[in-house]
Structure 1
Amino acid sequence: MNVDLFDLERFVKVQDTYDSYDTALQEIKNGRKESHWMWYVFPQIHGLGHSSMSQRYSIKSLLEAKAFLEDETLGKRLYDAMEALPVFGDAEDIFGALDAMKLRSCLTLFDLVSPGDIFSDFLGNYFNKERCQKSLKIVASELSYYKEDDAFRRNGIHEPARAFFESGTYESNQIEYKQSIGTLWDLLGRGETMRKLLSRYFWTKDFSVYRVSGVKHTILFYMRSFFQKIVDNVHDDSLYKEMNGIYCQYEFAKDDSVFLIADAIDEFMQAHCDDKNIKPVLDMLIKDSLCSQ
């Protein structure tokens, strides 16, 4: 079972409303789309459509597309819808000109997430392998980040990312807490963000309850350790109240809040990165960093 980090339940709900998905599947099998369901059966990357429906049921990132495909319900339904299409057909005859373009955008998106899969086959059969260039442009930066070496390797760290994001694993047990804490804050000080580090990590893993829960507790530990270090060394009541408010907000949060916690860390770092009182605390932490050692 996976944790829903991207509100994918919105797709399940609308597909189940008035049997919308079953209607869509039957129309696909009949060879002619007649009702309105394209947005949530064959979703596109965010930024292509401007209507309220296209906005709500767009996919915001490649990582969300990956989670969509790995979802037990949504992934199966998307594959079933694809398999219901004629192997060799005319997209415009089935969907109409506008929705045929949406289909190509959908295929382009999921082909990036699962290359060499059925999406690639239909891009070839229906669109002569011509991908949606607008979709490719929107995801280019994210895709490039996933394809390059991760931040750990780029900074000379030989331990895998799992050693820093999941406690109690064989990999994490090979390094000391002070090294993992120092390394993470060192990376943040070098321009990385916790959201990007987590996104890169989940891109290579799954969204299982066990994994996401472990990651959430680990980054909460990093947050608590960092804030405690500041409290011990910086006597600023307003800063203490700010940090305490942030930590209390997420201390007992659900597992699906993992990216919200990452964003809170990033926002705090951005707001205080030039604070003359906090820089010495960061220096104390990163002295144990494994970066470039």
Structure 2
Amino acid sequence: MAQDPYDLERFVAAQAPVFEQALAELRAGAKRSHWMWFVFPQLRGLGSSPMASFYGLSSLDEARAYLAHPVLGPRLARCVETVLGIEGRSLGEIFGTPDDMKFRSSMTLFARAAGEADSVFARALARYCDGAEDARTLALIGAG
């Protein structure tokens, strides 16, 4: 078995029973259940709950490993593409508060991890956040 220095399997295990439901909620244009932490992860230190801590990513390198993971990377991209396909709704309407802020934090982290100006994550920031990245995420990765 390949090494997993970041324990990314914690995300695979958490997503297993709910991923299709999460995708269906996104297709319907509104998140209804509790999966934000492990479908759109953000940096550890942004949230204070035990879930935010457990599913928080430790660094930009861990975010890169998440993107490179054969299950997690494609799932994340698929979810973001689904969000980009939602018409006429704001992040607040799609996710509610504070999950709208978590989405912005997650997109900021993964846009930086992807390192591509036209990544799906950068496109999500452009569409839903007027291109503005999350300042706290940038500060935690030393880019702000």
Rounded to whole Å, the distance in 2 between the matches of 1:49 and 1:105 is 11
Rounded to whole Å, the distance in 1 between the matches of 2:49 and 2:81 is 28
List runs of 5+ in structure 2 lacking aligned partners: none
Query: What corresponds to 2:134 in structure 1?
Result: 132
Structure number having the greater helix percentage: 1
Query: What corresponds to 1:9 in structure 2?
Result: 9
SS state at 2:10 partner = helix
Shift of 1:22: 1.0
Residues 1-293 of structure 1 correspond to what in structure 2 (within 5 A)? Answer: 3-16=3-16, 19-87=17-85, 89-114=89-114, 115-116=116-117, 117-140=119-142
Shift of 1:138: 0.5
- Aligned partners of 1:107 and 1:119 also within 8 Å: yes
Q: Counterpart of 2:24 in structure 1: which amino acid? A: Q
Rounded to whole Å, the distance in 2 between the matches of 1:97 and 1:126 is 14
- Aligned partners of 1:107 and 1:120 also within 8 Å: yes
SS state at 1:85 partner = helix
Shift of 1:2: 5.5
Alignment TM-score, normalising by the size of structure 2: 0.92
Rounded to whole Å, the distance in 2 between the matches of 1:67 and 1:47 is 19
Q: Counterpart of 1:103 in structure 2: which amino acid? A: F
Shift of 1:33: 0.5
Shift of 1:3: 3.2
- Aligned partners of 2:84 and 2:124 also within 8 Å: no
Q: Counterpart of 2:121 in structure 1: which amino acid? A: F
Rounded to whole Å, the distance in 1 between the matches of 2:124 and 2:3 is 30
May I ask how many residue pairs the two structures share in their alignment? 140
Change over 3 Å in CA distance of 1:2–1:66 after alignment to 2: farther
Query: What corresponds to 1:148 in structure 2?
Result: none
Rounded to whole Å, the distance in 2 between the matches of 1:60 and 1:27 is 28
The C-alpha deviation readout for 1:121-150, integer Å capped at 9, x for no partner, is 11010000111100000110xx69xxxxxx
Shift of 1:70: 0.2
Rounded to whole Å, the distance in 2 between the matches of 1:28 and 1:14 is 17
Shift of 1:5: 1.6
- Aligned partners of 1:2 and 1:71 also within 8 Å: no
Shift of 1:86: 3.6
Which structure is richer in relative contact order (CA contacts within 8 A, separation 6 or more)? Answer: 2
The C-alpha deviation readout for 1:260-282, integer Å capped at 9, x for no partner, is xxxxxxxxxxxxxxxxxxxxxxx
Pairwise CA RMSD of aligned residues? 1.6
